[in-house]
């Protein structure tokens, strides 16, 4: 798995239009073979700049797949006119460096272990909050559909299969990851049902 990294310099004053166009463009990339997920973050010092992070199964999935697809032509038409100058694209490996992988082993006290876990928990909570925003929006978009559209068992199994595969690559326990995701998905389904109102 690899990470596509792009800083998008949007023409100042065009940020709202860009964000609207990006939401229209998002399905064009998310449907691609080899696409995993993406994040779009806004700059603090330069709010007209946006950081796009896309996880792909391989560079080939991005370069030879998406960039040669009909959907990429639509993506270009929706987004590329917002950039000045045109951004550079880079790819990064997602496998942890040896020094990162060894960080937990290097600690020598229980307090250091707990501090490391607490730091990771803060990152996890931030990501859960982001995921919740998407779940809430899904509940809104599914209003008028039956409750089974919220429970979506086939989608649940698709997500679980995907995260198990990612866990294997990352060196995480597939059993722990699956149990964690099933619990989280179950809680989010209840949240989404409340928003859905069905």
pLDDT in tens, 152-180: 999 999 999 999 988 887 888 999 999 99
- Please tell me the predicted confidence (pLDDT) of residue 1: 85
> Is residue 38 within a helix (H) or strand (E), and if so which, with residue range?
strand 35-42
- What confidence tens digit (pLDDT) does each residue in 4-56 have? 999 999 999 999 999 999 999 999 999 999 999 999 999 999 999 999 999 99
DSSP state of 182: H
Per domain, the residue ranges of the chain are 2-93, 102-196
Please report the sign of the dihedral spanned by the C-alpha atoms of residue 182, residue 186, residue 191, residue 192.
positive
By C-alpha distance, which of 128, 137, 125, 126 is closest to 192?
137
Structural fold of domain 2-93: Alpha-Beta Plaits (3.30.70)
DSSP state of 102: T
pTM metric for this prediction:
0.58
Lowest mean pLDDT among 92-106, 133-147, 161-175: 92-106
- Please tell me the predicted confidence (pLDDT) of residue 7: 97
Q: For the beta carbon of residue 147, count every other beta carbon within 10 angstroms.
A: 13
CATH, domain range 102-196? 1.20.59.10
By C-alpha distance, which of 198, 173, 188, 8 is closest to 89?
8
Residue found by looking up tokens 């179950």 in the block: 186
């Amino acid at each position: 798995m690899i990470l596509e990294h792009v800083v998008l310099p949007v023409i100042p004053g065009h940020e709202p239009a860009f964000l609207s166009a990006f939401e229209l463009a998002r399905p064009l990339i998310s449907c691609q073979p080899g696409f995993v997920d993406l994040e779009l973050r806004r700059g603090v010092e330069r709010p007209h700049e946006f950081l796009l992070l896309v996880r792909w199964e391989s560079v080939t999935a991005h370069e030879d797949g998406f960039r040669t697809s009909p959907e990429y032509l639509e993506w270009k038409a929706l987004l590329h006119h917002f950039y000045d100058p045109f951004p550079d694209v880079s790819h990064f490996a997602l496998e942890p460096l040896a020094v990162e992988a060894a960080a937990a082993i290097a600690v020598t006290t229980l307090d250091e272990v707990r501090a490391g876990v607490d730091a990771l928990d803060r990152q996890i909570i931030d990501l859960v909050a982001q995921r919740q925003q998407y779940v809430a929006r899904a509940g809104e978009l599914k209003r008028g559909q039956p409750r089974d559209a919220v429970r979506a068992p086939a989608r649940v199994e698709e997500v679980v299969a995907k995260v198990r595969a990612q866990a294997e690559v990352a060196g995480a326990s597939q059993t722990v990851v699956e149990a964690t995701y099933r619990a989280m998905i179950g809680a989010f389904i209840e949240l989404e049902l409340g928003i859905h109102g069905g």
